[in-house]
């Protein structure tokens, strides 16, 4: 499964749930799969998107918050898995698109291409619901379940690279304002 196909399948299952995407190719794929005001695109702060999703999930228990994380980015901030497990937001769905590489910077291998196993790290951090999927059918089934059953969820999806030609607006303040307006949380 390509990451783009997985994200398309995800969006098909969503209504107005917010989706936050890791910087780089994950963000480009989310934009290509379907730009919507409920998408929050990261342009910087690598390693932060899961924590941003955690904060949003805690602030807005009325919403199911979906995070599209990457393996390289998650490896940069493994402590966040422990923080999510400690806070246990039932409304957080963390999807890790594991392509075993730093695709945005040229495809250099990450440690998941060697021996690191993200699902084990999630379980070891104390996350209660961790699934590993490697086909589109199993990905769709796992997402469906995560939207229905209490989390926090971690879905590790083995994906192939997908080079979206997307041109995501490089206007962080606009993206933030649009996102907050869509969530009804604009100050």
Partner 1 sequence: MDGWASSLYQALKASGIGMVAYVPDEVTDPLLRLVQEDPALAVVPVTREEEGVAVLAGGYLGGVRGALVLQSSGLGNSLNALSGLCLAYQIPLLLVVSERGRLGEFNPAQVPLGRALPRILEALGIQAFWAEDGDRLGRLVERAAALAFASCLPVAVVLTPTLTGGKVLR
The answer to whether 52 contacts partner 1 (rule: CB under 8 A) is: yes
> Distance from CA of residue 73 to its chain's centroid?
10
The answer to whether 45 contacts partner 1 (rule: CB under 8 A) is: yes
Radius of gyration of the chain (CA): 15
Q: And the tokens for 134? A: 């490697």
Q: And the tokens for 24? A: 């780089």
Q: Binding marks (x or -) toward partner 1, 62..101, rule CB under 8 A? A: -x-------------x-xx-xx--xx--------------
Question: CA neighbours within 13 Å on the CB side: how many for 119?
Answer: 12
Instruction: Give min distance, CB of 94 to partner 1, in A.
Output: 13
**CA pair distance 95, 23, nearest whole angstrom:** 14
The answer to whether 183 contacts partner 1 (rule: CB under 8 A) is: yes
Using CB under 8 A, which of 4, 30, 33, 57 touches partner 1?
A: 57
The answer to whether 181 contacts partner 1 (rule: CB under 8 A) is: no
Q: Of 176, 128, 187, 149, which is closest to residue 18 (Cα–Cα)?
A: 176
Q: Which is nearer to partner 1, 102 or 139 (CB)?
A: 102
Do 87 and 141 contact (CB within 8 A), yes or no? Answer: no
Positions that interact with partner 1 (CB under 8 A)? 20, 40, 42-60, 63, 77, 79-80, 82-83, 86-87, 172-173, 175-176, 179-180, 183-187
């Amino acid at each position: 499964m390509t990451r783009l196909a997985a994200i398309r399948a995800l969006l098909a299952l969503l209504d107005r749930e917010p989706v936050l995407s890791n910087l780089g190719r994950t963000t480009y794929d989310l934009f290509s799969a379907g730009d919507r005001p409920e998408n929050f695109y990261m342009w910087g702060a690598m390693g932060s998107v899961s924590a941003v999703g955690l904060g949003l999930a805690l602030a807005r228990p009325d919403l199911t918050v979906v995070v599209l994380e990457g393996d390289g980015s998650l490896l940069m901030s493994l402590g966040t898995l422990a923080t999510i497990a400690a806070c246990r937001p039932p409304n957080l769905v963390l999807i890790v698109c594991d392509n075993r590489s730093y695709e945005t910077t040229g495809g250099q291998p990450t440690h998941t291409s060697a021996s690191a196993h993200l699902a084990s790290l999630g379980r070891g951090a104390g996350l209660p619901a961790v699934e590993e999927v490697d086909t589109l059918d199993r990905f769709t089934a796992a997402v469906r379940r995560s939207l229905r059953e209490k989390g926090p969820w971690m879905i590790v999806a083995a994906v192939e690279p997908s080079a979206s030609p997307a041109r995501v607006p490089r206007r962080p303040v606009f993206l933030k304002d649009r996102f907050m307006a869509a969530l009804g949380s604009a100050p």
